Amino acid sequence: MTARADETRPSGGGNLTWHRPAVTRAGREALNRHRGATLWFTGLSGSGKSTLANAVAAELHRRGVRTYVLDGDNIRQGLNKDLDFSADGRVENIRRIGEVAKLFTDAGLVTLTAFISPYREDRALARSLQPEDFVEVHVDADLATCESRDPKGLYGKARAGEIANFTGIDAPYEAPENPEIRVDASNRSVGECAAQIVAALEERGIVPAPDAEREDDDDDEEE
């Protein structure tokens, strides 16, 4: 793993000053033996974002990688419970999550966010906060597949007019044009999609491959 220095930040305006921590991101990553990063899962409701994010987190945790899942429903019951599902509410929802995910990345965690995040502009804002550490994961499932699953019964309510501004029905979803990872959630199993994502993280040097982990352990024993 290559340690990297923490980002240099300018002082804020007025009475604000950016305080440099005694423990740096590089130090935390060295302790963790993997990089910090944000995996931004995006897709329609019912595409399997949360299920897949948790499957990836479970596999990484099994390998000793420190992770945290930021789930859309959970966040809206706490941090963002004051926001509605209007266009402005969705923008602020994603902005806050982007800032939180950036902090978690700085803490050296692999953070997995599971949000519909339907607008490209909002996802671009989240990416701009940590461009070198942002991995967009498009959980690609077509509307018919998502509607046939409808685990929460939301599509039925939206079709009946009981839910307004529902993505894919009366609100748009702008699919990623060039995501770092795209998984076919209509035709592949959760396990297959999770394996694809973990392999991509290994290729990007975010987490070590199992063989690399064993080699590091052997080196420690020799010392």
Per-residue model confidence as pLDDT tens digits over 24-75: 888 889 988 999 999 999 999 999 999 999 999 999 999 999 999 998 778 8
- May I ask the CATH architecture of the domain 32-222? 3-Layer(aba) Sandwich (3.40)
**Which residues in the chain show pLDDT less than 50?**
1-8, 11, 223
What is the predicted pLDDT for the residue at 18? 79
What is the predicted pLDDT for the residue at 1? 44
Return the active site residues. Answer: 117
What is the predicted pLDDT for the residue at 143? 95
pTM of the complete model: 0.84
What is the predicted pLDDT for the residue at 8? 46
Length of the chain: 223
What is the predicted pLDDT for the residue at 213? 56
